[in-house]
Amino acid sequence: MYNYEVHELTKLFFFGEDIKFIEDEKDYNENGILIKNYLKQNEDDYFSITEIVSDGKIISKYLVSSINSIDVKRDDLNKKIKVGIKQSIYEAISNISKVEAPWGILTGVRPVKIVHDLIDKQIGEEKIYNILINEYKLYSDRARLIIDIAKRQRGFIYPLSKDRFSLYISIPFCPTRCIYCSFPSNSLEISKNYVDEYTEKLIYELNMVKEFMENKKICTVYIGGGTPTAIPTENLDRIIKTIYNLFGRNNIEELTVEAGRPDTMTSEKLHMLKENNIDRISINPQTMNLKTLKLIGRKHTDEDIVKTFKLARKTGFSNINMDIIIGLPGEDIRDVENTLEIISKLNPESLTVHTLTVKRVSEFRKKISSYSIKDQEIINSMLKLTKKYAENMELLPYYLYRQKQMLGNFENIGYSIKGKECIYNMLIMEEKETIIAVGAGGVSKIFYPDENRFERVPNVKNLGEYLTRTEEMADRKRKLIDTI
């Protein structure tokens, strides 16, 4: 029961270790430690007890004596049992582990959603804080952080509506593929001959979306990838103009274009984006250290990043985001400080701080033993430094998410100055609005506000498959839209 949730929780403490489930203790061969969990009924209540055994001895033990007393503002017994089992396992492992788990028993991607759901139930802030601390076992700073973020997001996300949607455009091309990347991305060196055909198919899918979303109101548009600015200026210009022709520029509250790689940005491209009234661009250095840029597969320098940023400012962009990654191979705290020092002088309107995630499909995953990865304490020091610089730049946290295989059990945080928050980022993370995604690898999320749930509709990731199955991708979405 709850094998998946227990596996994800245990993995927080034993990152990279082989974790196996056994039904009978006789199958334990005494290699490694044995974690035993018992769920037992006591009259009309249940209790959960976890024992950890090593070399035939119990080295840690924890009892959750009453499942009924668990207070997460959910009457569902299965939910309480799951929380109780995770609590007992978490506390038992914490007693013997040097690894910290600042997010407690939470293993999901979107912890802020929990706060929104509790606010929706008219639960007060202090009670929410206590639930996060006592039931979900969050560290106090993480509990306060997600409460503050949720409060900041409410004005952008609510009121909820089944008749509103946002649009995601996938441009799955990059100059080169970074070693940590898991996104749909095709090197232009290999795939440049498909760009024109892809543009045609993308526009075809956009037209089909316009048909079945005719009675819905568009909110935001996000053009991501890949690196959208990797494709020729005329292709990107045509895609943007198609969006405006179909949905109306005045109807779109915010339009973001990922301009991530400075080696894809030219004065011509920036002027095209500006002339198309793009609200927000994202220039993503990941690091400002040349040695790391070379190691991760970037073909540009730190100086190129600075020049591109200044060119964007000169072109007239007043809402620029920059992404950085904490925990990149070989980097120490001085490298992170160098990155932050340069970025603080550029003074972007928002800064997104990612903690390195070792994705299964990334090149980095295949060669992880070849690189130096810093330990949890150092990663934590780096993240504290990013928080300090963000505060000095008057940037406040406005969205947050976590990922599997994330170094140190930490998180990704988006910071921005007031009034420059990316609305799309909040909508996609908190899953409170329908997101229609077009293009290879795009994942649509159809939101049912009355049930507080959504259905995922993924497009195929493979570029060749998408080019031959575009109509099918649109039809998948059409069928679910009719059920809202």
Cβ contact 62:91 at 8 Å: yes
Would the pLDDT of 1 be above 80?
Answer: no
List C-alpha distances in Å: 25 to 21, 265, 370.
10, 60, 37
Would the pLDDT of 190 be above 90?
Answer: no
Cβ contact 304:265 at 8 Å: no
Q: Domain ranges in the chain?
A: 1-99, 164-478
The burial class, CB within 10 Å (0-12 / 13-18 / 19+), for 261 is buried
| HEC letters along the chain | CCHHHHHHHHHHHCCCCCCCCCCCHHHCCCCCCEEEEEEEEECCEEEEEEEEEECCEEEEEEEECCCCCCCCCCCCHHHHHHHHHHHHHHHHHHCCCCCCCCCCCCCCCCCHHHHHHHHHCCCCHHHHHHHHHHHCCCCHHHHHHHHHHHHHHHHHHCCCCCCEEEEEEEECEECCCCCCCCCCCEEHHHHHHHHHHHHHHHHHHHHHHHHHCCCCEEEEEEEEECCHHHCCHHHHHHHHHHHHHHHCHHHCCEEEEECCCHHHCCHHHHHHHHHCCCCEEECCCECCCHHHHHHHCCCCCHHHHHHHHHHHHHHCCCCEEEEEEECCCCCCHHHHHHHHHHHHHHCCCEEEEEECECCCCCHHHHCHHHCCCCCHHHHHHHHHHHHHHHHHCCCEEEEEECCCCEHHHCCEEEEECCCCCCHHHHHHHHCCCEEEEECCCCEEEEEECCCCEEEEEECCCCHHHHHHCHHHHHHHHHHHHCCC
Who has greater pLDDT, 187 or 95? 95
Using N-to-C axis directions, what is the helix angle for 233-247 and 195-212, rounded to 10°?
10
- Which of 1-5, 319-323, 410-414 shows the lowest mean pLDDT across its residues? 1-5
Angle at the Cα of 84 (from 80 to 90), degrees rounded to 5? 140
CA distance 272 to 59: 64
Condensed to tens digits (0 to 9), the pLDDT of residues 307-366 reads 999 999 999 999 999 999 999 888 999 999 999 999 999 999 999 999 987 655 445 555
Q: Residues near 200 by Cβ (< 8 Å), separated by ≥ 6?
A: none
Would the pLDDT of 263 be above 70?
Answer: yes
For the record, the structure tokens of 379 come out as 């990663």
pLDDT the model gives residue 416 = 98
Would the pLDDT of 482 be above 70?
Answer: yes
Residue found under tokens 């229609």: 436
CA distance 93 to 10: 8
Condensed to tens digits (0 to 9), the pLDDT of residues 416-440 reads 999 999 999 999 999 999 999 999 9
Band (403; pLDDT cuts 50, 70, 90)? confident
Q: What is the pTM of this model?
A: 0.92
pLDDT the model gives residue 361 = 47
Closest CA to 81 of 104, 122, 111, 47: 47
Give the residues across from 186 on adjacent strands: 173
For the record, the structure tokens of 372 come out as 């130096």
Of all residues in the chain, the percent with pLDDT exceeding 70 is 94
Q: What is the mean pLDDT of residues 14-30?
A: 85
Who has greater pLDDT, 165 or 191? 165
Q: What is the mean pLDDT of residues 234-258?
A: 97
Query: Whole-number mean pLDDT of the chain?
Result: 92
Residue found under tokens 């779109």: 252
Report whether CATH 3.30.70.270 matches the domain 164-478: no
Residue found under tokens 């005045």: 250
Would the pLDDT of 144 be above 80?
Answer: yes
CA distance 406 to 355: 7
Band (373; pLDDT cuts 50, 70, 90)? low
pLDDT the model gives residue 273 = 97
Q: What is the mean pLDDT of residues 402-413?
A: 82
Q: What is the mean pLDDT of residues 65-90?
A: 95
Closest CA to 280 of 209, 223, 234: 223
Who has greater pLDDT, 260 or 41? 41
pLDDT the model gives residue 407 = 67
Q: What is the mean pLDDT of residues 100-128?
A: 95
Closest CA to 81 of 117, 115, 42, 114: 42
Condensed to tens digits (0 to 9), the pLDDT of residues 278-287 reads 999 999 999 9
Who has greater pLDDT, 199 or 191? 199
Condensed to tens digits (0 to 9), the pLDDT of residues 148-182 reads 999 999 999 999 999 999 999 999 998 776 666 66
**Residue 231 half-sphere exposure, CB side, CA atoms within 13 Å?**
29
Who has greater pLDDT, 295 or 239? 239
Band (371; pLDDT cuts 50, 70, 90)? very low
CA distance 264 to 284: 11
Residue found under tokens 């009670």: 127
Angle at the Cα of 425 (from 419 to 428), degrees rounded to 5? 140
The phi and psi torsions of 69 (rounded to 5 degrees) equal -85, -5
